[in-house]
Amino acid sequence: MSKKKEIDDRFKKFGTKSFTSVTKVNDFIDNLENGKVMATRCKDCGIVFFPPRADCYKCLSSNVEWHEVSGEGKLVTYSKLKYAPVGFEDDLPYCIALLDYGDFKIFGRIASNVPEEEIELGMEMRTKANKLPNGQLNYVFEKA
Ligand SMILES: [Zn+2]
């Protein structure tokens, strides 16, 4: 007799190629489906984590709460990719970038509808939940 296992694999919906499952922070995907990009915040020391973490490495607390990534971040750096990791080739060319939200930074990609000539270091951008043509979810940076 085999016992049916319940596998929490919601992270499979994330990204062009699915991420490994990260069970403790799978609500991230439910939020993404609802258009929200979430970080986590340690209730004990206030540090914000993105990608979301279930445990605080600073004070070793597991007392974390969801924290919506909202408002604008500053573009710190970006890079146009001509070669992509396996599974991302069909998306080329695209720009990966780092946004600085003050308390935390987010690494991701710039939305394909942002013309490259309009991308400038220091510009204000927003992080937006995004649905890929194949039904997978991710988030992209758009002009604020
Ligand atoms: Zn902490």
Distance CA 32, CA 91 (A): 20
**13 pLDDT above the threshold of 80:** no
The alpha carbon of 98 and the centre of ligand 1 are apart by a number of angstroms equal to 23
CB 30 within 8 A of CB 10: yes
- Look at 106 and 17; give whichever has higher pLDDT: 106
Query: What tokens were used for 5?
Result: 């296992």
Distance 52 CA to ligand 1 centre (A): 13
Give 64 Cα–ligand 1 centroid separation in angstroms. 8
Task: Look at residue 4 and tell me whether its pLDDT is greater than 70.
Answer: no
Residues 59, 44 contacting (CB under 8 angstroms): yes
Predicted confidence (pLDDT) per residue in 88-142, tens digit = 787 788 899 999 999 999 999 999 899 999 999 999 999 999 988 888 899 999 9
Q: What are phi and psi of 121, to 5 degrees?
A: -60, 140
State the Cα–Cα distance between residues 135 and 33, nearest whole angstrom.
10
d(CA 63, ligand 1 centre) in Å: 8
pLDDT digits (tens, 9 = 90+) for 64-92: 999 999 999 999 999 998 888 788 787 78
Q: How confident is the model at residue 50 (pLDDT cuts 50, 70, 90)?
A: very high
Sequence-separated (6 or more) residues with CB below 8 Å from residue 54: 24, 25, 40, 62, 64
What pLDDT score was predicted for residue 118?
95
The rounded Å distance from CA 48 to ligand 1 centre is: 9
Residue type, 54: A
Distance from the CA of 46 to the center of ligand 1, in angstroms? 6
Task: Give the distance (Å) from ligand 1 centre to CA of residue 5.
Answer: 33
* The pLDDT value given to residue 19: 46
140 has which bridge partners?
Answer: 109, 128
Quick one: which H or E segment has residue 138? strand 137-143
Encoding tokens for residue 128? 């937006």
| Residue 19 DSSP label | P
Q: What is the pTM of this model?
A: 0.79
